[in-house]
Amino acid sequence: MPVTRMQTMVSKSQTMSDRTATASRLEEVVSTPDEFDQVVLQALPMLLDRAAGSTKRFLRETGQWNDDIEHEKFALRWGSEYLERFLVCGRTEVPCRPLFLFDSLVAKQHSKPEPFCYHPDLLRPLGRFLDGLAARAVISRDALIALYHHAYGWSPGEVIAVTGLNGVESQRIYKNFRRWRESGWQRTMDEMGLTKVELAELGNQQQRHRQRFNSEAERLIRVAQTHYRKSEPNHYPCLSRSQWGEMFTQGYGCDYRIWHLALCLDCMQTAWGLGSNGSTIGEKPRLELQVRP
Amino acid sequence: MGQEEDLELYRSRLLESLDSHASRCLRGVSDPIQVYVNERRVGELEGAGIGAMLQVQCIDHIDTVQLRTEEGTLLGGLVAPEHGFRTDRLRLSADTIELCVHNTSQGGTLSALFMPAPSFWSRAWKSIAEAADRLVARRPDTALVYGMRMVAFTQALLAIAVVGLVADRVTTWMTAERTPSPVIQTASLPAAPPAGTTRLEQQLDEVARIQTKIGEALASQQNGIVQLHQAVAKLSSTQESVVSSVVMVKEEVKEELEKRLEAVGRETDRTTRHVASKGRVEQEQLEAAIHSLTADNDRLSKEVAGLEEHNQALKTKLQAANASKAVDPNPDRLLARQNDPGRQPLQLADSLQGSQQQPFLFWVTFSDGTSQESIDQWVNGMKGHKGAVNEGWQEVRIVPPPVPPDRFLEQIRGEKIVKAARISQ
């Protein structure tokens, strides 16, 4: 036993000294992008912990922190987001001191009015699932198109009909669906920290109490959509039915339709039936959450 | 405990994802590239397009630019400065995207240019064409011309060799068609004439030689192309560095010019303001002087008019006196009048004295801190009387001075306690 304890202590002290060496290397000036990559890639764990720590501090200071695993995961998730951006953009900032550059990037993010979508209910599995979908939709067209499926259960053909797309755009929709099924969905679930057990439990809840489940999902997806719609181009506001009608009839604003309707339940109801030249006669769409792609 | 493990698992998964992100490129060849400015999507670059370009103009400053695949993978990006240019060239596999951000006080502009990787032959031809262009454009370098000639000669040689080989093969095939089946041929080999075998051997040797030559020619051509590539790469890197230095120098010059213009502008503004304020003061002083002169003029003209009237009255009286003298029957009264010689001049003198005894009025301001007692003393010293005070100006009436008013005022201004003096109010 004493030998094991000794080994643990030696291992801990070794780790500590490694971390110190890495930190001091990060504080030194790097002159080339390759050097930047080399130094930063060696220090990913340390930088992730640092970013998560900053996020945690920000949440504490803004009265949004709770000592539980959901909040810890939230902080880690945003730390990872910042680190990903740093990995790509930081190399264009050389010569620089990576550690200080990283700190400034995180601080800059936290100085924004709403750096991330925080709501206590969005930290639970259903909230995390919806938050993950909406957050991913902002940066991935595959996820954006997949939102139509997850929110309304539509197939690619139905998405094309509802959004009134032409031939070229239609092909892309099929491609988006395929990629999302192949890898996008799993990747998003992994990044949101949703385990297989949690996903299975969501499926069970949906089967047992479908109506309650969907109404809760509608409430939460509205919170997420309101936040992430800010990432749309700022000339994409909500429109009246006549304005949507004009857009659909004249065939312009493909991107507008795809982006906005996926991220706005209300406008989806407003523009319902315009895309398929009125051939879709039926009830306005209600949220029917699909957990699987 | 389970939660800690779950958290640790999540952390290591995120780290794996980050680690693999750095070394992968998941973009399909024809997929568009999504362009984000300040984390808002602004458009896309056609991934398969030749020289696809996207230009974006924003009201706000461009802070960050990000390029993502349709899956959401972050391919590249840059952080732009608050003011000025930032250019970057991102390599995605063999393709290149050139980003250029320009931030000004009016907002920011982004231009993104997608340059797909050219094929091997197009690169080779491009290199040769560029080299040829340069040769045409300027006096050719002897070594390079020699190299080009060598390449051309090698190509010609290779073409001839290939044609020869093809012709030889065709001949062989045609001969083979005429020959009997291999079994029969084998059987009849011993009967074949030795001359035919020798010719065949010679032909084989010839083909082998040609093949060797072709191999050498190909190797030398490849060497030439490799050298050309290296030269082109060096040239393009030099060009890039020159272009970037030109951009930097331009930027520096622009900034310097802007700074100088600002400084000159500030200096000019200050001078203009100073001159304008001085001009205003002088104008005010001039207006006050003109006003006082006008008032003096009015007063003098009134006095002159009064004197003329008085004169006229005196003349009338004189004429009347003469007339009465002419008609007056009483010589005693006339005599009495004649005996009073000072009467008429006295009247004139009285009138003059009356006009002279009108008090001389002027306005004066005193130096700061002058006591009322000193002022009274000074006024008494002049045998004057104080009048009204208006906006710091004290009215003083004195016996008309023996010197002209202007000179008198100058004297007054010379007094220690007097700050300023003027005649008009």
pLDDT 10s digits, A81-91? 999 999 999 98
Chain B residues touching A85 at Cβ < 8 A: 64, 66, 74, 77
Which residue would you say has higher pLDDT here, A69 or A12?
A69
B359-425 classified as CATH 3.30.70: yes
- Structure confidence at residue A194 (pLDDT): 93
Residue A46 token pair: 């340390």
Integer Cα distance of A237 and B409 in angstroms:
79
- Structure confidence at residue A165 (pLDDT): 87
* Mean pLDDT value of segment A49-67: 95
Residue of B nearest to A37 (CA): B22
- Structure confidence at residue B241 (pLDDT): 60
Whether chain B has a CB inside 8 Å of the CB on A15: the answer is no
User: What are the boundaries of each domain within chain A?
Assistant: 2-110, 120-270
How much is the ipTM here? Answer: 0.88
For CA atoms B6, B26, A229, A218, give the dihedral sign.
Answer: negative
Chain A residues touching B5 at Cβ < 8 A: none
A140/B10 touch (CB, cutoff 8 Å), yes or no: no
**Interface residues of chain B, partner chain A, Cβ below 8 Å:** 3, 6-7, 10-11, 13-15, 17-19, 21-22, 34, 36, 39-42, 64, 66, 68-72, 74-79, 86, 88
Chain B residues touching A195 at Cβ < 8 A: 6
CA distance A132 to chain B (A): 13
Chain A residues touching B88 at Cβ < 8 A: 92
Q: Are A176 and A142 in contact (CB under 8 A)?
A: yes
CA distance A82 to chain B (A): 11
Q: Chunked in runs of 10, what are the mean pLDDT values of chain B (425 residues)?
A: 85 90 60 89 78 86 92 90 89 85 92 79 66 57 53 69 73 52 36 63 82 80 76 68 63 76 76 77 82 84 87 85 59 44 44 59 87 88 86 87 86 86 79
Task: Look at chain B and count its residues.
Answer: 425
A44/B18 touch (CB, cutoff 8 Å), yes or no: yes
Integer Cα distance of B409 and B413 in angstroms:
6
User: What are the boundaries of each domain within chain B?
Assistant: 22-117, 121-238, 359-425
At A196-247, the pLDDT tens digits run 999 999 999 999 999 999 999 999 999 999 999 876 666 688 999 999 999 9
Scored b (16 or more CB within 10 A) or e, A41-66 reads: eebbbbbbebbbebbbebbeeeeebe
Residue of B nearest to A52 (CA): B11
- Structure confidence at residue B332 (pLDDT): 46
Say which residues have a Cβ less than 8 Å from residue B210's Cβ, sequence separation at least 6.
B161, B164, B165
